[in-house]
Structure 1
Amino acid sequence: MSGLRERLERLRAQSPEVAAESIQAETTVSAKSEEHLLHADFRHIGVELKSNENGQFLLRRIVYPFPYRHGRYELAELREGASHLSPIAMRQNQNSEPIDANKLLFLDTETTGLGVGTGNVPFMVGFGYYTERAFVVEQTLIRHPGEEKAMLSYLLGHMKDKSHLVTYNGRTFDWPVLVNRFILNGWRRSGPEPGHLDFLHPSRALWRNTLPSCRLSIVEEERLGIQREHDVPGSMAPALYFQYLSDHNPIHLHGVYAHNEKDVLTLASLAVHFGKLLGGISRDAEDEGPEGEELFRTACWLEKHGNTESAERLFDLLGDREELGDGSGWSLALAARYKRAGQHERALPLWRKSAEKAENSALPKLDAHVELAIYYEHRDKQLLTALTYAEKALELAHMRARLSRDSASRNEEKEALLRRVTRLRDKVSRERM
């Protein structure tokens, strides 16, 4: 470095024109030399050395021209569906403007640990964004702590024209980690934080009853049709990074790059999925539409956030469905909703379908039979029909008791049903006199 400084000093003593040409040549040679210092295994996967006013870091940029499909969805579809994502948006100062796909920054970090304290360093920040003709994924990497400020400065530049971050658990993890690093590198908050679309929370609201887990890997496989082969789990990323720091072999990070890239693409595909769900749109013309549980939870989500018109449309679609799955879950929840609203005529067919399903189930639920017994006793005044449903419920209760270990609660259940059956039999007997 001192040799380069001495050469530049000698050049300054020459004429301005000659000096300018010579300095440019020296700078070009220096840049090429630095590029040669970048390991070939980095360059092999498209990683380049990037410099700004705060120093250097590594950058990988991948462009996916439209049309590009990730899983079930063409990513360009978000241009039409982004406006439906407003119910998911979380920000301190709500913005009334519709969400625009071009103003979203899809963000996923790989960090040295799991906490959000100052000791946790995001060594790789992957982010994606829409251009007019493509979806672009960029991945920044630091080779040592001295490159962190340059990396964060580059990220801030991409956040300037974006209205929302799109993450999976980013409000709890990724964003707090980045905020800590911004502060430690001399930046302070000015103005409101960016809006946030954190897809973990709606995923739990919609799929907690139907998926074994709401981890992103499960959601993308079950809802987006994405199958990853030979994927490096995110939990292994810190160990692989430390291994790279130990021997400086970029091969250790190839799998981390691939995993992070797919995570960013999945966020975009998931945004399309939620846009369609919240807009009440099927996946495509040949699609039968979302399953009942997902549709019901989506309608509840819309209703909760004040979009009652769209929610009612989805509730109506559910009410017209012939197939109710196992006869429990969303169908009974929808019937209970109609009952609370005094719309018993809409709840009645749901109870009937659920009761039919329960009678053919290995471990039946009694809710539909009990509701039908209540309806026919107190509203329709058909005591014999009410008694029929109550007796069937008692029969199913005995079946459940034989299969269940919770004998105390099952005994209480049977006793309540027995009282109902006894009362109805008495009413029917007196009515016939």
Structure 2
Amino acid sequence: MDIKERIERLKREITEHQKRDRSRTVEKLRILLREETCSKKRIKNIDELAEHLEAKVFENKFGKFIVRDELKNSEFYGEEVDKLHILAKEEIFKNFDLSRNIFVDIETSGLSGGVGTFAFLIGVGYLEKNVFKIKQFFLPDLPYEKALLFDLSSLLKGFDSVTTFNGKSFDLPLLTSRYRLQMLKEPLFDLHLDLLHIARRVYKRSFEDRSLQSLEQNILGEQRRGDIAGNLIPDVYFNFLRTGEVSLLGKVIKHNEMDIFSMLKLLSHFVELLKKIEEIKNPEVLYSISRLHREFKDYNTSILLMKRALRYTDNIPLIFEIKRDLSIIYKRQSMWEEAEKLWIELLQETPFEPFPYIELAKFYEHRLQDSNKARGIINILKEKLGAGWQHCTYDDLVKREMRLNRKMEPNEDYT
């Protein structure tokens, strides 16, 4: 089979896969529509639509749109966010003020972004008089996008920072492009806190799925009931535009509302995590946070957290990662005795990992000035790796052996 045939076959496979995915999505939508048969309703009038959504119609010089308000009780008012910069990995977040922050989440006409994708529902949330206020801007028809964005910008410009979930990659770039296409000035913020990035840093080793709903279940202990799948939302909106069918719009509105409120609770969780760091017994989380402290050169805290993480795990790959990073800190701090102890332990625990051998060889050669001992360590590693030792990903292995040989046998030419 030549390359052209292979390309054509691949194209056919991709097309078939897309058709299967589309058919599954349509089938899910049909099931949901059947569930809503009893309450099926078609609305074209914007005032009736607003009433159906328990919202209000607003109008400006560019047209009409719908806004829905919801109030949520919150026990988190932004206290003790002074360490948030550690999770955000940016010193500037020392200036983060929750009272000057707005949460943003959007529902769009497509999940892939691009110029043709637009936001038909933009939800925002912010603290006001000790309650969490959620406002949802809904686009009743495409010609009114400019009207919606114009009023939204008036609200957004009153805040210094924005918090999103994957908003750096999706929500804000998409909104920026829509503002520019509508020839409006896009909203600008001094700070943008993306909670997905923090979740990846903290729970990278704890679980693979770090979607917002997964975090709700695994971290907040909450399970959504009767929620609509995110991949169905664009179809629900386009079905509404074509037919006026509003049976599932309520689920879309509720989905967006839950996303916004979950962001506040997730932020609260992260702040509490740093506040009660001494109570954490999850080794993956302790290790992840220790690495963040290391980024800010807070080596004492990083060492403390790594040592605690080691007490709570017997997972060899994780132990290797922790001891590797801990030994590097010891090395940077010239704590050679502690570093050597860890490297020797790793020889026993992970005998086929080149790292401890290379570090010990460096230590013996440069710190102890013992080339024989350094070459002995390299030879042990070569025996462990077998005939393929020269293909070791540690290029330093070959170079180090050559240098040690030159030191030991200075009269022989190794060039």
Q: TM-score, normalised by structure 1?
A: 0.66
TM-aligned CA distance change 1:375 to 1:106, over 3 Å: same
- Show the 5 A alignment for 1:82-93: 82-86=81-85
Distance 1:114 1:127 in 2: 19
| CA distance in structure 2 between the partners assigned to 1:127 and 1:249 by the alignment | 25
- 3-state SS of the aligned residue for 1:173? helix
The amino acid across from 2:355 in the alignment is: D
Q: Is the 1:299–1:315 contact (alpha carbons within 8 Å) kept by the matching residues of 2?
A: no
1:38 aligns with 49
2:22 maps to which residue? none
Change (3 A) 1:206 1:97: closer
What amino acid does structure 2 have at the position aligned with 1:288? K
| Cα pair distance change 1:148/1:36, threshold 3 Å | closer
Structure 1 pair 344–206 and aligned structure 2 pair: CA distance change class (3 A): farther
Q: Indicate which of 261, 282, 288 corresponds to 1:265.
A: 261
Distance 1:372 1:261 in 2: 55
Give the match's secondary structure for 1:251. coil
- Residue by residue over 1:253-299, the C-alpha shift from the partner in whole angstroms, topping out at 9 and shown as x without a partner, is 2332233223222322332344356xx4336x754366343123322
Distance 1:58 1:342, change over 3 A: same
Matches within 5 A, 1:5-404: 37-38=48-49, 42-43=52-53, 47-54=54-61, 55-67=63-75, 76=76, 79-86=78-85, 98-114=95-111, 116-188=113-185, 193-208=189-204, 211-229=207-225, 231-276=227-272, 280-282=274-276, 286-288=279-281, 291-301=285-295, 303=296, 308-309=297-298, 312-319=300-307, 321-323=309-311, 325=315, 326=317, 327-358=319-350, 365-372=353-360, 374-375=362-363, 379=367, 393=381, 396-397=384-385
RMSD of the alignment, in Å?
A: 4.3
Cα 1:353–1:96 change in 2 (3 A) is closer
| Partners of 1:157 and 1:147 in 2: CA distance | 16
Partner-residue secondary structure (3-state), 2:126: strand
Q: CA deviation at 1:166?
A: 0.8
Instruction: Label 1:210 to 1:409 Cα distance change in 2 as closer, same or farther (>3 A).
Output: farther
Secondary structure of the structure 2 residue equivalent to 1:106: strand
Q: Per-residue deviation at 1:334?
A: 3.0
Corresponding residue of 1:8: none
* Cα pair distance change 1:88/1:410, threshold 3 Å: closer
Q: 1:97 to 1:282 in 2, by over 3 A?
A: closer
Residue by residue over 1:320-354, the C-alpha shift from the partner in whole angstroms, topping out at 9 and shown as x without a partner, is 55436432224312322332443323423433454
Are residues 370 and 186 of structure 1, via their aligned partners in 2, closer, same or farther at CA, if it must alter by over 3 Å?
closer
Q: Provide Cα deviations, 1:83-140, integer angstroms capped at 9, x if missing partner.
A: 333467799xx97972111111111111112455543211000111123422232222
Amino acid at match of 2:230: G
Gaps of 5+ in 2: 1-44, 409-415
Judged with a 3 Å threshold, the aligned counterparts in structure 2 of structure 1 residues 352 and 235 are, in CA distance, closer, same or farther, namely farther
* Residue-by-residue CA offset, 1:145-176 (whole Å, 9 max, x unaligned): 23323422332232232111111232332222
Deviation, 1:188, is 2.7
Alpha-carbon distance in 1 for matches of 2:211, 2:133: 24
Q: Equivalent pairs: percent with the same residue?
A: 24
Amino acid at match of 2:250: H
Q: Please list the CA deviations of residues 394-428 of structure 1 after superposition, one character each: whole Å capped at 9, or x if unmatched.
A: 66545xx9xxxx89736999x969x79x99xx9xx
CA pair 249-341 structure 1, distance change in 2 beyond 3 A: same
Whichever residue aligns with residue 143 of structure 2, its letter is G
- Give 1 or 2 for the bigger CA radius of gyration: 1
Q: Is the 8 A contact 1:319 1:350 kept in 2?
A: no
Give the Cα–Cα distance (whole angstroms) in 1 for the partners of residues 349 and 323 of structure 2.
11
Aligned match of 1:431: none
Instruction: Find the aligned partners of 1:386 and 1:230 in 2 and give their Cα distance.
Output: 64
Cα distance in structure 2, aligned partners of 1:411 and 1:136: 54
Tell me how far 1:240 sits from its aligned partner.
Answer: 1.8
Q: Return the letter of the residue paired with 2:327.
A: A
With over 3 angstroms needed to count, the CA separation of the structure-2 counterparts of 1:392 and 1:114, relative to structure 1, is same
SS state at 1:82 partner: coil
Using a 3 Å threshold, how does the CA distance of structure 1 residues 287 and 322 change in structure 2: closer, same or farther? closer
Q: Answer yes or no: is the 8 Å Cα contact 2:390–2:398 preserved in 1.
A: no
For the residues of structure 1 that align with 2:269 and 2:361, how far apart are their CA atoms? Answer: 40
**Superposition TM-score, scaled by structure 2 size:** 0.68
How many angstroms apart in 2 are the aligned matches of 1:392 and 1:103? Answer: 59
CA distance in 2, matches of 1:117, 1:365: 44
CA contact 1:319–1:346 (8 Å) conserved in 2: no
Residues 150, 184 of structure 2: 8 Å contact kept: no
